[in-house]
Chains A and B, each alone.
Chain A
Amino acid sequence: MKRTLDCDVLVVGSGPGGATTAALLAEAGRDVILVEEGRHLPLESAESYSLEEMNQKYRNGGLNVGFGPTRLTYLEGRCVGGASEINAALYHVPLPDTLRQWSIRHQLDGMGPDELAPHFEAIEREMNVSPARDGVGPAAERLAAGAEALGWKVGEVRRFWRYTKGADGSWLGRRQSITETMVPRFLEAGGRLLAETWVQRIEHDGRRARAAVAFSTREGRRGEGTRIRFREVVLAAGAVQTPALLRRSGVRRMVGDTLRVHPMLRVAARFPEPVNDPSFGVPVHQVEQFKPHITLGCSHSSLPHLALWLAGDVDERARLLAEWEKLAIFYVAVTGDGRGRVRSLPGFDEPVVYQPTTGRDLALLGEGIYRLGELLFAAGAEGFYGPVEGAPATTDRRQLERLRTNLPQGRMNVSAIHLFCSCPMGGDPRTSAVDPWGRMHDLANVRIHDASILPDTPGVNPQGTIMAVARRNTLRWLEA
């Protein structure tokens, strides 16, 4: 190793969980090093959802594949701020019943809705959670109109977005991410940030961890090595990288065996009139009628993304894209039941993910597509393309019924942007990797503060939950 660093606490991963933890610890006077594999870039270093942003801030340029009976692609952030820099900045609190069930099933003290409420409120203040004040865009309006026509509950999702009033009285909005909020707080409190540094393994004696072995990732290749010694370490590299790091370090019990996702199917719907206005960014409406198990919404629908998700009759693609302003992407996301595995391969830095699809997953996806189709027709869509590769457009209820019961597993393009549960927390060490406060059962001074520890699928975007749980666990740790 070229150099050795010492600190009280090492935090691995600068996403929502890691940066929240690091900021609170540094403000409490701890000597903290925050390590991030990706680069430290401003929020505006690339346009949202552009190829440039994918190259700069997504792991593997966005090309991550989960193996299994269904083709699965998943996304992870790889930059300071993690997924918060690249996601839609949507903020959710899980349904109270979801949190209550987690508490009971997994023996989690202090995880009920009332106990978590102050932590969610603190995150809302810190991250400037706000409703959209500058319009929602025509695709979101269609989604809302369709749901209302069917009598379904629909709502606008609040976002991490800071608004100020311009000189002319209009609202000026600015997206909020971890590099805009927690990272400046951490640096101001004297924390040390090591960007472009990949932690290969944690050294431990089976009871306590001592140090991390890390390498520079500058210019895309493994460079100089650093040994970082610590008293305590917090792992917050995400639901795939955290278990991969632990497994590379020889820690395997209840690690990387229970990965869960929100499987998502996208369709491109065509309307008789223009519905696509990219100036509105990400649409913010979601159908809440079938939550938490089924969520319907609309996505960013620029020309390249339409081209990517126009999975239906490919021979028609150019004709359809020529009128791209009449197309918009909609999705169905469900609470996946399959327990995936994260494994490290000898000789390779990147882990392999295997994600099964259960009968329940397929049934929920079929039901979700059916409901989405009903909604799109009620909203005036002529038809939709996808989610079955190579299939013609769905234009009537008969076709819709077929999709409901006969989704062909091998011909769907399933994606996942929410991954969790790979090192679940719980009161029983036989069925969990960490205790209800994020401490590993097997290594006394190792904590996990990211999506890995969620005990079950939340049914909503998990960023707010990850931050609230990280805050709860860190404050408890500081009180001890």
Chain B
Amino acid sequence: MRRLAGRLRPRARQVRATVEAIVDTVIRHEFGGTALFREDALDWTVEVMVGRIELMPSFLSLGMVALTALFDRLAQARTGRRFHALPADRRAALFDGWRRGPVSFMRDFTDFYTKMGIFVYCARIEELAAEEAAAVPLRRRARVRGVS
């Protein structure tokens, strides 16, 4: 029991790897190839998503972790490899299949990762943009000083 409880924590290695793979899939699907895509916002998004699962009421958090682990295993049943070990294009197809599929709790599951993932990701790119905007005058000032 204790071993199972240890595995069903958001920060357990396999759960975290699956969260990372799902977030990567969602953000690349939503923003890949657009002006809003930033590779440097992904790690932070994953970390915050894990934190948000921890922040949920414990009965929801347990359910979300269990579903995340199940989602990883279901990919193995279909493709022979766990979701987090699949190449990016296979992940995207699988995730989209569940998102549009008939199983309502899996639609809710993909919906949570999609909505919360892009919310957190957009919060990060907004932050990065603000940091860069604040840094621009400093860089300009440094250049001017260097020339003079």
Contacts and interface: CB of A to CB of B under 8 A. Distances in A.
Contacts, number: 67
A5 interface: no
B35 to A, nearest CB: 6
Mostly, the A contact residues are helix
Given A318-B31, A345-B59, A61 B52 contact: yes
Nearest to A51: B123
Interface residues of B, number: 28
A408 B59 CA distance: 27
B122 A304 contact: yes
Contacts of A302: 126
Most buried by B among A50, A318, A322, A352: A318
A389 B111 contact: yes
Contact of A348 (B35, B57, B108): B57
Given A51-B48, A304-B122, A308-B119, A321 B36 contact: yes
B36 A318 contact: yes
B135 interface: no
Contact of B122 (A63, A64, A307, A352): A307
Contact of B123 (A65, A304, A318): A304
Contacts of B122: 303-304, 306-307, 321
Nearest to A353: B57
A349 B58 contact: yes
Nearest to B115: A308
A352 B59 contact: yes
B55 interface: yes
Given A50-B123, A65-B60, A303-B122, A55 B55 contact: yes
A60 interface: yes
A305 B34 CA distance: 19
Interface residues of A, number: 29
B140 to A, nearest CB: 23
A96 to B, nearest CB: 39
A60 B114 CA distance: 19
A15 B93 CA distance: 47
**Nearest 7 CB-CB pairs, A to B?**
A61-B55, A350-B57, A304-B122, A304-B123, A307-B122, A318-B34, A308-B119
12 contacts: A51-B48, A51-B119, A60-B57, A61-B56, A63-B60, A304-B119, A304-B122, A305-B119, A307-B121, A307-B122, A318-B36, A349-B58
Interface of B: 30-31, 34-36, 48, 51-52, 55-60, 104, 108, 111, 114-116, 118-123, 125-126
Interface of A: 50-51, 55, 60-61, 63-65, 71, 302-308, 314, 317-319, 321-322, 345, 348-350, 352, 389, 410
